Chains A and B, each alone.
Chain A
Amino acid sequence: MLLPHAQTLAQARSYVAALADRALTLDASSAYERALLELDRVHGDECPALDAEDLADDRDILLAVASNAIEDLESYGIDPLSVELILAMLVDAHDLDIG
């Protein structure tokens, strides 16, 4: 894993984790958490640490940046289908969140 890849992945993980922390219901939080786990699984658990502190509180902004970062992972050789699946999980979780 090269440095830009690691940075993008760290960003994606941080944003998804921030979404899980700020979710209104436990179910939505758990759904975000599973998207995060899927992200880790795709990378074989070789991921840099995340930092979900000091991020925006607006969940729509967080979702947008998280989706962006995950889409960017495609350019580092991550299987496009996996990326799409994670994005779909993220959208499902967001649907749960806004109820």
Chain B
Amino acid sequence: MYGENGAQMRTELAALLRQHRIMRRLAEDSSVERAAAGQQILRFRQTVLVWCAQAIGVARPLTFPNVPQKPADPFRAATDHGAAVAELARALEAAREQATTRPASSQEFTTPSANTIVERWRLAARAVALAEHDTAPDQAIHLTAAQARTIAGDVAAISQALVVLDRRYRNTPGWEPIAGCDRLGWAALATALDVSLGQPDYSVDQTGWRPRTKPIGGPARPGVLGVLQAEHNLLVRLAAFPDAMNLRLVVDSQRLLSAGLVPYAERIDPDLAGQWSARAETYSRIQRELRNIGGRLGNGKAAAGEAANAVSRLKALRPETVLEPRMLGGFQTLFRRLDSRITDILESGAERGAFVQRVTVPRLVNGDGRLVHPVRERFVPVARAADLDVIRTAREHLRPREEPSVSSPGASRADLHAALIHRPPAKGAQSDVLDL
């Protein structure tokens, strides 16, 4: 997730910004050791630069300058004045290309260092390497303009930190300053200001790469955990589109499961028990309405199997079993996702014609010249999804309500900004300096 990796790199850079008198920290007296540590830091920094250039490239097409647009002059080529993001992208690209150091290898990312400064650089570079997943073009197509602006702001702050650190490390033997360091610093500042004119959307932290959800394999877990396992696997298996009959089996299992869990939930959370009986009602209704829906596209045998597992394991539970609130929460989360997935399946199935409506009265065709009259049609395609009762029920009752997501800038952003303008404490506070 971008939030985790972004927070990690900002935390490490903020910690590095708070460390002064670098030479002593790199190595006590040996200039050779200092040079070696410096080279390693350079490689880590190059990795950070590479990511910055990549991320700003992803955010750039979606960010617009806050400069009011002048009426276009047809006799002049379009000018891009005032677009700070473009300038930052150019400066980062130049810095990346002109550097002679190669980015760190993955072996370096994973080998801890005894030196605290090198170690912090390593952690920052590792977070950056992971963040390349989150800002890769295939993920970035889902970004909104406000989210892209947030990424541009983050890159600006990190570039600013790189510039400050570059100045501080200049006396390291064999150090290679960032090419166009001043320009990069000013462009980063302008970008940060430009971003702050708009309203950044911090929900970008929730986007990015996530590991694939896998079914929980192995033998059935004992007790309630087995039910949770089967329910989780059902959700994973439903990623494949089920055919109408298997969907009916899944729907049937869900109403049995919801109703069966109500007595367990009632002892702990009567509210939740109420919600689950309502869910069982909704599924009963959907079950009734699905009887007149057919369709053989899709598969869903694995999903139906897991659904049956969940129900049979629930039935095997002893009635006096106590479910912890955590398990109830787990069920609630799974139920919400399943409800939303089943609604999606119904909607898309009706839309693309995978689900068809059965015909009520078989039509007898007269005068086709044959002695035996076959039934002419058994199914009709659904003209409009909203015409189906089941779709209406799913939309109104099954689809879980959107939970408002609270997105805040997070502590790490504020901390990095504070560290950028941080001043070393006065000489008197020696203990503090040593502490840092």
Chain A nearest Cβ from B388, distance in angstroms: 12
A22 to B211 CA separation, bound complex (whole angstroms): 46
Once A2-B372, A6-B375, A41-B245 are accepted as A-B contacts, the answer to whether A49 and B292 lie under 8 Å apart by CB is yes
Residue of A at shortest CB range from B243? A45
Name B's A-contacting residues (CB within 8 A): 243-245, 248-249, 252, 255-256, 259, 280, 284, 287-288, 291-292, 294-296, 357-360, 362, 364, 372-375, 378
- A50 near B255 with CB under 8 A, answer no
Residue of B at shortest CB range from A26? B259
Residue of A at shortest CB range from B294? A45
| B-facing residues in A22-45 (Cβ within 8 Å) | 26-27, 29-30, 33-34, 36-37, 40-41, 44-45
A76 to B358 CA separation, bound complex (whole angstroms): 20
Chain B nearest Cβ from A82, distance in angstroms: 15
- B256 near A48 with CB under 8 A, answer no
Chain A's interface size range is 20 to 34
Once A27-B256, A33-B252, A45-B245 are accepted as A-B contacts, the answer to whether A50 and B378 lie under 8 Å apart by CB is no
Chain A nearest Cβ from B118, distance in angstroms: 63
Residue of A at shortest CB range from B292? A49
Interface majority SS (helix, strand, loop, mixed), chain A? helix
- B245 near A30 with CB under 8 A, answer no
A20 to B284 CA separation, bound complex (whole angstroms): 10
Which 9 A-B pairs rank lowest in CB-CB distance, beginning with the nearest?
A49-B358, A49-B360, A6-B362, A49-B292, A6-B375, A26-B259, A45-B294, A33-B252, A30-B252
- A21 near B288 with CB under 8 A, answer yes
A17 to B256 CA separation, bound complex (whole angstroms): 17
In the complex, A46 has a CB within 8 A of chain B:
yes
* Chain A hits for B360, CB < 8 A: 48-49, 51
Residue of B at shortest CB range from A27? B256
Residue of A at shortest CB range from B295? A45
- A48 near B284 with CB under 8 A, answer no
Once A17-B291, A26-B280, A29-B284 are accepted as A-B contacts, the answer to whether A45 and B244 lie under 8 Å apart by CB is yes
* Chain B hits for A3, CB < 8 A: 362, 364, 373-375
In the complex, A94 has a CB within 8 A of chain B:
no
Chain A nearest Cβ from B239, distance in angstroms: 22
Extra pairs beyond A2-B374, A47-B358 (17, CB < 8 Å): A3-B374, A26-B259, A26-B284, A29-B284, A33-B287, A34-B252, A37-B248, A45-B294, A45-B296, A47-B294, A48-B362, A48-B375, A49-B357, A49-B358, A49-B360, A50-B358, A51-B360
